[in-house]
Amino acid sequence: MSAHVIDVGSRSIREVSAELQQAARTREAVHVINTLSRHNLGIGLPPGAEVSFEGSVGYYCGGLNTGARITIEGDAGWGVGEGMDAGHITVGGYAGMSAGAAMRGGLIHIKGDAGPRAGVAMKGGTIVVEGKLGAQAGFMAHAGKIIALGGAATSCADALWQGEIWVAGDIESLGVDAKVVEPTPAQVAEVEAILAPLGLAGQSRNWRRIIAGQRLWYFESRDANAWLMI
Amino acid sequence: MCGIAGRILGKTGDVGTDLVELMDAQAHRGSDSTGFAIYAPPRAHGYVVRAMGFDRAGLGRDLEDFLLILREHGGDFLENPTWDSAPDKHYSVRMVISDPANVARWIHDADMLCARLEVQSVGRALEIIKDIGGAAEVAAKHHVRGMQGTHGLGHARLATESAVRPNASHPFWARPFPDVAIVHNGQITDYTNWRNRLERQGYRFLTQNDSELIAVWVSHEISQGMTLQQALDHSIKQIDGVFTYMIADLNGIGFAKDRFAIKPLATVQADGAFCAATEEQALRRVYPGGAKIINYDGPAKTGIWGKGGLAA
């Protein structure tokens, strides 16, 4: 079955979104062309939808995703997959500032580099970066994993809370309260199991696992579960 | 949140049209006002002066007084001044003048009229055009699309910490340095301290806009012996806040991004020309065919794009 093609061009994003949602809900594969780096494409797509974007997209593409599989063939602007709950987003090139900000679940696979603050305030899910992580990756992340195969820029894992960042390659500098720990074989196996389905398995990598040093924590108890209200 | 843009052509061309497109694509980033700094091929002698008057009814008297001060400094009109014909109370006037004996001293005296007629740019090549409204509106009112030049800047303003007035729009001229202009997206948090320091050294500011400060700050550093690159590097260490700014002179455009990487900048170099904008989608307006975009998302970045080789 051929994909439903949507031409963005200069059309209003509201109109494009309505057509996209309609096509996605019929479980028809959708191919979006002439994206011209426009913002807010593919927001809130439903589970089961399959959407590909030809070229580059602007800000917040795939935001609030609830389970769609989204492929961006070019670069993505700021906030790709922001607030997503489930699903799978692939970025063919570079992803701008704050990829996966506040995401709660799902996976974002960035084949190029990621801009600063990837995974800022993320609360779950996984971000895989084949290239280099930008500055302040994982800033104040509450949960989830960020995995970078091409090193990391300055202030990596700054003010991290409970997430973790895995880096293979050079780290320019660690952020405030970031702590590098030796991963266990079981933890490495878990990360490699995430990478394998993405075609990134089978290489021996010098992993560094970065977690919070807990010096910024101001809780009386180190048992965070005691503080969770859910 | 403001939108900024820069454009360098390989030779003299439709830089006005390109800047209007770049700013129209970013009009959502700043609905208060729009402005353009356009560099025509530089004149060998004389300056182009762009100024804004605040009471159209007094236009004739304003120009007479302006000319009086200019003649006291050895200058004169080389052409009859022209102005917009909009029904607004404020008006924009373009003058071509012969060289005053000393530009800084002349502009110091000309600024005595600034409550009536405010000089907004002086240059061999530079002309700053700015007004209230979006890109399409300002461009139509001031015929920006027809302006030819080698390079220029654009700005869409969302006012945050100073008034929405025609003269508080960007770009800002680096008073009193001819042919230097700036556009800025961000906030300078130690603005008052720096302004006080520069005022003690004799500089004059006509707005409360922090962007006006950066233009003078950078130009002052250069006047004290720094290169533009050194001044840009120095600015991100000295000036506090979150910002991306572009500063243009006769030779090209420089940029600086703060240490926190909050404000975006994307660029294209293609076909012997250069383009920069806050948002990538604006670049696609000028390069709809899919040029390679370079994002400057990281912290503490500076650089200069030259008019000739583009990578000065």
CB contact under 8 A, A37 and B298: no
Closest alpha carbon to A111 in A67, A80, A135, A145: A80
Q: Name the token pair of B234.
A: 């120095």
Nearest residue in A to B282, CA atom:
A37
Q: Where among B124, B147, B174 does a domain terminate?
A: B124
Band of pLDDT at residue A8, cut at 50, 70 and 90: very high
Q: Name the token pair of B112.
A: 């005595």
Would the pLDDT of A53 be above 90?
Answer: yes
Q: Do B288 and B210 belong to one domain?
A: yes
User: Distance from B298 to chain A by nearest Cα, in Å?
Assistant: 6
Which residues on chain B are in Cβ contact (under 8 Å) with A59?
Answer: 279
Q: Do B279 and B185 belong to one domain?
A: yes
Which residues on chain B are in Cβ contact (under 8 Å) with A39?
Answer: 279, 281
Q: Name the token pair of B240.
A: 């506090």
Would the pLDDT of B130 be above 70?
Answer: yes
Q: Can you give the residue ranges of every domain in chain A?
A: 4-227
Would the pLDDT of B137 be above 60?
Answer: yes
User: Distance from A115 to chain B by nearest Cα, in Å?
Assistant: 6
CATH of the domain at B20: 3.60.20.10
Which residues on chain B are in Cβ contact (under 8 Å) with A77?
Answer: 279-281
Number of independent structural domains in chain B: 2
Q: How far apart, in whole angstroms, are the C-alpha atoms of residue A155 and residue A142?
A: 17
Band of pLDDT at residue A201, cut at 50, 70 and 90: confident
Closest alpha carbon to B18 in B270, B282, B279: B282
Give percent of chain B with pLDDT exceeding 90. 82
Q: Do B66 and B137 belong to one domain?
A: no
Supply the pLDDT for residue A99. 98
Q: Do B293 and B173 belong to one domain?
A: yes
How many beta-carbon contacts under 8 Å exist across A and B?
Answer: 52
- Mean per-residue pLDDT for B101-105? 96
User: Distance from A205 to chain B by nearest Cα, in Å?
Assistant: 26
CB contact under 8 A, A97 and B297: yes
Which residues in chain A (29-88) have CB-CB distances under 8 A to chain B? 36-39, 55-56, 58-59, 75, 77-78
Supply the pLDDT for residue A220. 56
Which residues on chain B are in Cβ contact (under 8 Å) with A58?
Answer: 279-281
Q: Do B166 and B62 belong to one domain?
A: no
Q: How far apart, in whole angstroms, are the C-alpha atoms of residue B241 and residue B23?
A: 24
User: Distance from B30 to chain A by nearest Cα, in Å?
Assistant: 16
Residue-number span of the structural domain to which B9 is assigned = 3-42+125-306
Residue B312 lies in a domain: no
User: Distance from B278 to chain A by nearest Cα, in Å?
Assistant: 11
Nearest residue in B to A75, CA atom:
B293
Q: How many CB atoms lie within 10 A of CB A7?
A: 13
Q: Name the token pair of A157.
A: 């894992």
Would the pLDDT of A219 be above 80?
Answer: no
Supply the pLDDT for residue B312. 40
Residue B311 lies in a domain: no
pTM of the model: 0.89
Q: Where among B124, B146, B176 does a domain terminate?
A: B124
Supply the pLDDT for residue A226. 60
CB contact under 8 A, B280 and A77: yes
C-alpha to C-alpha distances, B106 to B112, B125, B308, nearest whole angstrom: 10, 19, 32
Mind listing the pLDDT tens digit for each residue in B164-178?
788 888 899 999 999
Q: Do B103 and B77 belong to one domain?
A: yes
Q: Do B230 and B90 belong to one domain?
A: no
CB contact under 8 A, B279 and A97: no
Residue B279 lies in a domain: yes
Which residues in chain B (254-293) have CB-CB distances under 8 A to chain A? 261, 264, 279-281, 283-285, 288, 290, 293
Which residues on chain A are in Cβ contact (under 8 Å) with B299?
Answer: 116, 135, 154
Q: Which segments of chain A does DSSP mark as H helices, in order?
A: 13-25, 185-195
Q: Do B190 and B130 belong to one domain?
A: yes
Q: Do B137 and B193 belong to one domain?
A: yes
Point out the residue among B285, B290, B295 whose CB comes nearest to the CB of A94: B295
Q: Is residue A191 less than 8 Å (CB to CB) from chain B?
A: no
Point out the residue among B279, B293, B298 whose CB comes nearest to the CB of A75: B293
Q: Which segments of B5-84 does DSSP mark as H helices, in order?
A: 15-24, 59-72
Band of pLDDT at residue A230, cut at 50, 70 and 90: very low
Q: Do B38 and B53 belong to one domain?
A: no
Would the pLDDT of B209 be above 90?
Answer: no
Q: Which segments of B115-208 does DSSP mark as H helices, in order?
A: 135-142, 191-200
Kindly indicate whether the ipTM for this predicted assembly is greater than 0.85, answering yes or no: no
Which residues on chain A are in Cβ contact (under 8 Å) with B264?
Answer: 78, 96-97
Q: Do B54 and B131 belong to one domain?
A: no
- Mean per-residue pLDDT for B6-21? 96
The answer to which of B17-21, B91-95, B252-256, B303-307 has the lowest mean pLDDT is B303-307
- Mean per-residue pLDDT for A114-132? 97
Q: Which segments of chain B does DSSP mark as H helices, in order?
A: 15-24, 59-72, 103-110, 135-142, 191-200, 210-223, 228-238, 280-286
Residue type, A19: E
CATH of the domain at B89: 3.30.70.260
CB contact under 8 A, B280 and A58: yes
A4-227: which CATH number, 3.30.70.100, 3.50.40.10, 1.10.645.10, 2.160.20.60?
Answer: 2.160.20.60
Q: Where among B92, B124, B156 does a domain terminate?
A: B124
Q: Do B236 and B302 belong to one domain?
A: yes
Would the pLDDT of A152 be above 60?
Answer: yes
- Mean per-residue pLDDT for A188-199? 96
